Amino acid sequence: MLTMQDIKSHYRFNGDDSAALLELQPLAKAHQEELIDQFYDYLLGIPETAAFLGGEAALKQIRQKHADWFLNLFNGTYDNLYMRNLQLTGHAHVRIGLKAHYVNSAMHLVRRYLVNLIEEKYAHQPQIERQRLHEAVEKILDINLDVMTAAYQEESLKKVFLSKRFEAKLIHATERFTFGLNLILILALVGLSLSVVGLFVWEITHVFSGAVEKGIMSALGTLLILWMMIELLDNEIKTLRGGHFNILVFIGVVIVAIIREILISTLRHDPLTTQAFLAGTLLILGMVYFLVAKSQQAIAPRPPHG
């Protein structure tokens, strides 16, 4: 299953694009009502789409959702939660029976409005500046359309199964369960990190009680564990925001654990064979880390030339 990070990489959507969209946010807010008015003039002008808008109360609610969606185009944060909201929108379109054609045509209307707005408001800017903003808008709209219309493809694939309702509920429940487990994992890592900070403070007291060497070495080992916890937390947060699962972090955690064990082994004056075994293990892990890092660099998408 594609993550938001995968989709953004396929469209070559990067931090510069996010910054460009965030820069357009004040302009989008100022013209939000104008765009939504044009959007609904278009929808209400087509009998097939007007039939889905319902009465006045329903129309007001749907209009607000479209207004929120429009402003979220320029919030600067495009993670897995953002993608999940787009997926829910796509599934809502499928559920009410709205054809993908009308989604595409409505998106075209938004695209042309924003392109014309940029040309008008940034007419005094160099062409290269307007082009930068155009490309960012084009990318985020294409990503939105990609994610939302994927629901139609999923629906057509489900027709070959015996119980698509059960499958949809099972997938939804599994996604929520997995997300919940990730949140529990983050909370557990936070708790463990606080415990490690407490352990570090306790070990520092050895320095002032006379056991200077033991205190410093133990505190250094605990700092390594704290660094390990920070890396795990950072990796888990990136994963929730749409990043890739980074195996290098976990290899690095094992390396840190081995380094700490070597420090403790030195304090305990363990046999030379034990220390040699730990050193050999550290060497092997270092080689594995190097090879995995090289392989990740080899398959990483390269930035376009020019």
- Using CA atoms, how far apart are residues 256 and 260, in angstroms rounded to an integer? 6
What's residue 112's pLDDT? Answer: 93
The count of C-alpha atoms lying within 13 angstroms of the C-alpha of 138, restricted to the half-sphere facing its C-beta, is: 10
pLDDT at 303: 44
Contacts of 1 (CB under 8 A, 6+ apart): none
Burial of 151 (0-12, 13-18, 19+ CB in 10 A): buried
pLDDT at position 93 is 82
Closest C-alpha among 156, 112, 155, 152 to residue 134: 112
Contact 50, 173 (CB under 8 A): no
The CATH-assigned architecture of domain 4-160 is: Orthogonal Bundle (1.10)
Residue holding tokens 């099972």? 170
Displacement of CA 289 from its chain's centroid (Å): 24
pLDDT tens series, the chain, 306 aa:
678 888 999 999 999 999 999 999 999 999 999 999 888 888 888 887 877 776 777 788 888 888 999 999 999 889 888 888 888 888 888 888 888 888 889 899 999 999 999 999 998 988 899 999 999 999 999 999 999 888 777 665 555 444 556 666 777 778 778 777 877 888 888 888 888 888 778 877 766 776 666 667 777 777 777 877 787 788 777 766 666 667 777 788 788 778 878 877 777 777 888 888 888 888 998 898 888 888 767 655 444 443
> What are the structural domain ranges in the chain?
4-160, 172-299
pLDDT at 259 (0 to 100):
82
Residues 6+ apart with CB under 8 A from 98: 49, 52
pTM of the predicted model, to two decimals?
Answer: 0.56
**pLDDT digits 0-9 by tens, 131-177:** 999 999 999 999 999 998 887 776 655 554 445 566 667 777 787 78
CA 240 to chain centre: 6
Spatial distance between the Cα atoms of 34 and 286, rounded to a whole number of angstroms: 59
Find the DSSP H helices in the chain. 4-10, 15-23, 25-30, 32-44, 47-50, 56-72, 80-96, 100-121, 127-158, 164-208, 212-240, 247-268, 272-299
Q: Name 206's Cβ contacts closer than 8 Å, sequence gap at least 6.
A: 212, 214, 215, 218, 219
Query: What pLDDT, on a 0 to 100 scale, did the predictor assign at position 73?
Result: 93
pLDDT at res. 306? 38
Question: What is the SS3 assignment for 255?
Answer: helix
Backbone angles phi and psi of 11, in degrees to 5:
-95, 5
